[in-house]
Amino acid sequence: HGMAAISNGMAVFGGVIPFASTFLNFISYAAGASRLSALSQLRVLYIMTHDSIGLGEDGPTHQPIETMAMLRATPNYLNFRPADGNEVSAAYMAALQHTDRPSVLSLTRQNLPQLDGSSIEGALKGAYDLKTYGAGAKPDLIIAGTGSETSIAVDAAQLLASQHKLTVKVVSMPCLELFSAQPDAYRHAVLTPGVPSISVEALSTFGWHKYVHCPIGIDTFGASGPYLQLYEMFGLTPEAIAKKALKVIEYYKNIPVPTLALQF
């Protein structure tokens, strides 16, 4: 709390762009002061690490579940979960460009691959088409991923394309706030109407039903153990995601697929 409050004071005084940094879960302890950053329209960068069960053995006391949902529900915040180096660059760029709001950069503990199709320009819009796997003219499914789960979404899409002959579009969604601010035409070009969609994020699924038909995440507290075992335990592996994806596709075969992320 003190760290965030001091950062607010530095932002008000001017001359510097303050940042504060700790594990993502512990921004909850700074909620009063970090909320004031948004309320006061201050450019404070919160650089948060260890942003999921991927931190492993420290266990549920250190593993954020509801934290990102709380931040996304806070007005005038930008919340980023970048999937690779390009998206980290975009997150810093956006955080510096938006002078009247704080930004949270949620970063992983584990190493991540550089993704084929990742884009600074796309990430600056909050979400974008990463890559489509399969040969169909129209996707059978959209998989939206954030942060460290985007590469898992890619692996699941490749599995569905190779083993089930499906066409799957992977969408990277590093910042829901920036995506929601895009025009309808762009948002519907990314989240194609009429196509079933799922999301993959190792955090609470709260709030995701606005964007996808079936969010996959964690709605319990985490657990202590090697992070790869935890991802398997919570069903966040390519195989488990593909299995659920097949059920979603089957469900929507005989009923209309609702159009989501509408704004009136």
**What's phi and psi for 65, nearest 5 deg?**
-120, -60
What distance in Å separates the CA atoms of residue 54 and residue 202, rounded to the nearest whole number?
8
Among 172, 27, 211, 203, smallest CA distance to 102 is for 27
Q: Residue 113's CB: how many other CB atoms inside 10 A?
A: 12
pLDDT of residue 80: 98
Alpha-carbon distance 77 to 153, whole Å? Answer: 26
pLDDT at 262: 64
Contacts for 40 with CB less than 8 Å, ≥ 6 apart = 8, 12
The residue with tokens 């059920």 is 247
pLDDT score, position 260? 84
The pLDDT, as a whole number, for residue 38 is 98
3-state secondary structure of 196: coil
Tell me, what's the pLDDT at 263? 64
pLDDT in tens, the chain (264 residues): 999 999 999 999 999 999 999 999 999 999 999 999 999 999 999 999 999 999 989 999 999 999 999 999 999 999 999 999 999 999 999 999 999 999 999 999 999 999 999 999 999 999 999 999 999 899 999 999 999 999 999 999 999 999 999 999 999 999 999 999 999 999 999 999 999 999 999 999 999 999 999 999 999 999 999 999 999 999 999 999 999 999 999 999 989 999 886 665
* Per-residue DSSP letter, 27: G
Contact 248, 214 (CB under 8 A): yes
Residue 72 amino acid letter: R
